[in-house]
Amino acid sequence: MALNLIMLGPPGAGKGTQAERFATAKGIPRISTGDILREAVQAGTELGKRAKAIMERGELVSDEIMIGIVRERLARDDVRAGFILDGFPRTVPQAKALDGIMAGRDPLIVLNIDVADEELVRRLTTRMICKECGTNAAVEDAAVPGSRCKKCGGAMVQRADDSVAVIIARLKTYQRDTKPLVNFYGARPTYRSVNGAQPPDQVAADLIAAIAAVSKTAPSGAHA
């Protein structure tokens, strides 16, 4: 069965951190819509020009654009053995469109990472990313001033949307537009929620256990 995973959760929950681990461990692509948009901003493409101001306000890029990006990405051959979506879907219309894209494929496994707001704000205000390649600093390195990226040696900077004002806006957007997905997916046998307020290794272990549990319930070839 293909490992078709969605990482759900608020800003700072650890979606990217955990998705990256899985992608490496399982050899399947991580599809981060936030990374796709940040790369477009950095490259100055039409998409990037439209997305920049929206992201810096903590709002969402339109469903139409995001669904188009993901539809195209999931049509490629490298997702046959599975994929990890990080940051998509983010609205009920995106989730409905994804169900359409997944028709006839193995079921979506939906993993929600749950973390309280105060901890999210703490993580995001202290997060450092690489200016060159966008990689997050490791949890233990996040607060070390002057550190360099372990992947490419680039300078570590604050992410453009990690100011307190924009973090608050992102959390509000999450509550309004994305949290309803917990209800949208919650009744499916392939949905699980884990406690994200634990060390990353423990969160990863809980996610692996959740995937093992839902894989037993999931019929192959049709989405739940």
Q: Which amino acid is at 105?
A: R
Q: Which amino acid is at 69?
A: I
Q: Which candidate, 155, 157, 126, places its Cα nearest to that of 142?
A: 126
Residue 192 interacts with, from Mg ion, ligand AP5, none (CB under 5-8 Å by kind): none
Q: How far apart are CB 80 and ligand AP5 at their closest, in Å?
A: 23
Kindly tell me which of 89 and 107 has the beta carbon lying closer to Mg ion: 89
Name the segment binding Mg ion (CB under 5 A); options: 15-23, 60-68, 92-100, 124-132.
15-23
Six-digit token string for 75:
């049509």
Q: Which candidate, 177, 16, 175, 183, places its Cα nearest to that of 85?
A: 16
Six-digit token string for 155:
């300078």
Name the segment binding Mg ion (CB under 5 A); options: 11-19, 75-83, 137-145, 171-179.
11-19
Residue 134 interacts with, from Mg ion, ligand AP5, none (CB under 5-8 Å by kind): none
Write out the H or E segment, with its range, that includes residue 84: strand 82-86
Bridge partners for 194 per DSSP: 113
Interaction site with ligand AP5 (CB under 6 A): 9, 11-17, 33-34, 37, 54-55, 58-61, 66, 87-88, 90, 94, 123-124, 127, 136, 139, 142, 170, 196, 199-200, 203
Which positions are annotated as active-site residues?
Answer: 15, 90, 127, 159, 170
